[in-house]
Amino acid sequence: MDNSNFQPQKEGDVIEFAKNILLEKADKLASMPVEEINTLIGVLKSTESREFLELERRTKEFCEKYHKLYNLDFLGFVKLTNEGVICEANPTFCNWLGISVKDIINKKFSTYISDPDSQLFESNIKPASIKLQFGLHLKKRDNSLFPVSANMDLLANGKEGPFIILILMAKSKFTGLEKEAQRRFSLKNSQIAALIQNIPFDFFMLDSDGTCTLQNDTSKNNWGDFTGKKLKDVSGVSDKVLSIWFNNNRRAFCGETIKEEVEYEVKGIKKRMLNIISPVVNEGRVCGILGCNIDLTELKTALIKLKEAEEKFKYLADKIPVGIFKTKISGEFVYANTAVAAMFEFSSTGDLMRENIIKRYNNPQDRLVFLNEIKSQGKVSNYEFNMVTRTGKAKHMLGNIIFDGEEISGMFVDITEHKKAEAVLEEDRNSFKKIADESALALLKAQKDLFNAKHLSDIGTLAATIAHELRNPLAAIKLATYNMKHSKLNLGIDKHIANINKKIDESEQIINNLLFYSRIKSPHYQKININEILNECIDQAREQFEKFKPEIHRKFQCLENITIDADPTQIKEMCSNILNNACDAISEKNGTVEVSAEYINGDYIKIYFKDTGMGIDEAHLAKIFEPFFTTKARGTGLGLAVSLHIAHLHHGNIDVLSRQYEGTTLVVTLPINRANGYSNHEPESIRE
């Protein structure tokens, strides 16, 4: 046949080919040359349908499997005409004979087999239908014989009529495969036997005449070894047990599967066992039975103990005042003790079990919130539930709940009375707070009265101070006046007048401090530009200390457009007092004073007055804000006391940082708005 010119004669050829592929009819395709198959694949591919593309894929798979089989080294494939002439052979067959493919084409197959086999072969290909299996001896090129097992089939195909397919297997390979199969079968039997031996219960097998062909060690230990025996020949087993065995085996041989619980006496011990016997059926006929006895004694004992434990649990659960329950995820009760029923005002747990717990939520939305949390976490502890009883009473419950993926279990504690007690305590707390606030106001009033009394006492001290402090400048004025009167020449009069003016200024400052301290009142708030006040105070300080001209640096540009709620007179007095102290501190060593500022979060400002003077002794730090405390030869000691009092009146504060011999920094904190308050009213003295 000219395969290169093969074309399908009609569409039916393609459809038939496709059907054979889909049905995997290898016998219809094995005889087709590869060229014909490829041509048909091309026709199928040209249709571009999904069905034919699937046919193409399966055809290729079939061809790959066919050609792998075609080239196996132990299988020979030969295609013959119905006259026994070779028209195709695979390489394996040619290799066996030691002849090339082209040398055997169109030769009679009987030429290459032994003479006796040749006569048998010629007689077998005469019938109209052939399907035989037989042995042959191939005649090799050197005339030696090569034994094979042959499978011959007569097939019909196209115009050329029927042809014969021979599949030959080398007997040496067949023997090896047979041994391998036997080895695997033996191994499988060994594995099955080992598995049966390790089963922890009785196992046995009887053949069709009732003889035991297999018995594991557990069965032998319980009943003795009866392998190879029939039940009637077994000794050492009670008549009662044998009677049960005979009856159940008879039913199994009739095709019935037995599964029943029986009581056996094994070595004098009564045991409950599950007896299972199953018939082994082959081609519709019972050819044996498999049986086992599973010891249920320990399981039964455990079940009895479990039941007793459940009864005890239910008894205890019904006695404790804690609610124990289990529900489905949908809310139906699975279990509830009497405490739960009582909490929800049900007369019995039976009535409660017919309820859905969702009905007991005061707000159904709370159920959804709880389900989301318990599903995500698996458990919740001390979870508060707002529930309602059957009669409509509100209940507060505290629960510890777990979720196993299907059911919700947990316990409830009724905390309704506890919640009521909390409400009473909260009411008492509010009442106590009101009393405490009233007492605090009374205490503040008493403190104010005490302050006023102290103020009067300070005024007495003030009088003595005035008498002492004003005596010195007045004496100087008197002396200067005397000198002016008795001076023969007026050359030094200007110096004396200047001295008089200075002392008069000192006297005025002393009097002002005393008067300001004795008359401090609540601030008269208005919007003030703190930047302008600081500049004014610095200018005044330079005039007052004109003699040594203090060097004062201004670093508060951040406050240039900042206004605060404050009393301008009091703020100016406070800043002047602090600046005067700083200038006094540097007068002896010609140091510097730096005024800087900081704007904090739109709520506060901080003003830093830093001098490079001698600093403050550690022993004096705690006293510098006390009235009339001073270490100067002259002065009232009221400047810082007045300044701190003004800061407090404005809900601010003054802190001091000092290192002896290195200088002092006073930090003034003031709120921007009157509503803001600086909580710390105690000055913080820091010695670095």
Q: How does pLDDT run across 575-606, given as a tens digit for each residue?
A: 999 998 888 888 777 789 999 999 988 899 99
Residues in the chain: 688
pLDDT of residue 441 exceeding 60? yes
**Residue, of 66 and 368, whose pLDDT is higher:** 368
The DSSP 8-state label assigned to residue 184 in this structure reads H
Q: When comparing pLDDT for 146 and 493, which is higher?
A: 146
CATH architecture of 199-300: 2-Layer Sandwich (3.30)
Q: Indicate if the pLDDT at residue 179 is higher than 90.
A: no
CATH code, 11-177? 3.30.450.20
Query: What band does 23 get if pLDDT is binned at 50, 70 and 90?
Result: very low
Least confident of 108-117, 158-167, 486-495, 635-644: 486-495
What was the pLDDT predicted at 656? 93
pTM of the model: 0.34
Highest mean pLDDT among 2-11, 60-69, 380-389: 380-389
Identical fold for domains 320-406 and 520-687, yes or no, is: no
Q: Which CATH class is domain 520-687?
A: alpha beta
Half-sphere exposure of 81 (CA within 13 A, CB side): 12
Whole-angstrom distance, CA of residue 333 vs CA of residue 311: 19
Paired tokens of 225: 């070894």
**Non-local CB neighbours of 402 within 8 Å, separated by 6+ positions:** 378, 379, 408, 409, 410
pLDDT tens profile 114-141: 888 888 777 777 654 555 777 888 988 8
User: 320-406: CATH homologous superfamily?
Assistant: PAS domain (3.30.450.20)
Residue 200 clears pLDDT 70, i.e. is over it: yes
Burial class (CB in 10 A: 0-12, 13-18, 19+), 370: middle
pLDDT tens digits, 267-301: 888 888 888 999 988 878 888 899 888 888 888 88
The residue type at 305: K
Q: What is the pLDDT of residue 118?
A: 84
Q: Where are the domains of the chain?
A: 11-177, 199-300, 320-406, 520-687
> What's the mean pLDDT in 181-208?
77
Helix axes 493-518, 639-649, angle to 10 degrees: 40
| Bridge partners, residue 202, by sequence | 293
User: Mind listing the pLDDT tens digit for each residue in 293-336?
Assistant: 888 888 888 888 888 888 887 777 777 788 888 999 899 999 88
Q: What is the 3-state secondary structure (H, E, C) of 354-418?
A: CCEHHHHECCHHHHHHHHHHHHHHCEEEEEEEEEECCCCCEEEEEEEEEECCCEEEEEEEECHHH
Alpha-carbon distance values, 492 to 484, 488, 604 (Å): 8, 10, 53
State the pLDDT confidence band at 505, using cuts at 50, 70 and 90: low
Greatest alpha-carbon pair distance for the chain in Å reads 181
CB 672 within 8 A of CB 604: yes
What is the reported pLDDT for 149? Answer: 83
